[in-house]
Amino acid sequence: MKLDVIKLDGGKAGSVDLSEDLFGLDPRADILHRVVRWQRNNAQAGTHKVKTRSETSYSTKKIYRQKGTGGARHGDRNAPIFRKGGIYKGPTPRSHGHDLPKKFRKLGLKHALSAKAKAGELVVIDEAITAGKTAALAKQVKNLGWKRALVIDGASVNEDFLKAARNIEGLDILPTMGANVYDILRRDTLVITKAGVEALEARLK
């Protein structure tokens, strides 16, 4: 699969051969869904907590005698039936994470890359290097028509490019090892450098 390579100023910089195993698959929504669900569940803090009847701040005294009142039988006012009483079977702190095989995670990333390529939302640039000025980079991004873009670079990201892009809304930069299904799918445009393409092919071979 051949794709034109462009520069950040919009000029042409030749072309690149993309691996069919990474960018030429027929994307499957069920695989992408499972990987995204795994990512989001692992990211969830799980710190939700409610107070049970043993933790609410109230007297443990029996509110009235057992028999003879004509009312229902009750113990203390911490019972869930009362206002300000404890919550019954509410959430407790726990991990929402679950396992997903490494092979499946790798397959999900391949399908995410293929989905962007198939939708025509994949752009390959020669390199992500700039003088370090946000205004200049913002102008280039606007001219290229990138509204919400993710830039994937090689093993490391250029420090000046990272600083320049930090304050541009809708532009995110990741090294190859940071590339993931969720971040790829939630952006309108996926931008990969030539070094990033080589590193991804080496990572996912």
The whole-model pTM stands at: 0.84
- Structure confidence at residue 173 (pLDDT): 94
**Domain range 2-45+97-203, its CATH number among 3.90.1410.10, 3.40.1370.10, 3.40.30.10, 3.40.50.300:** 3.40.1370.10
- Could you tell me which of 91, 63, 67 has the C-alpha nearest to residue 77? 63
The whole-angstrom separation of Cα 10 and Cα 103 is 37
Question: Are 50 and 39 a contacting pair, CB within 8 Å?
Answer: no
Instruction: Check residue 132 and give its pLDDT.
Output: 76
84 close to 58: Cβ distance less than 8 angstroms = yes
pLDDT value for 80: 96
pLDDT at 170: 92
- Delimiting residues of CATH 3.40.1370.10 domain(s) in the chain: 2-45+97-203
Q: What is the pLDDT of residue 52?
A: 96
Residue spans of the chain under pLDDT 50? none
User: What is the reported pLDDT for 31?
Assistant: 97
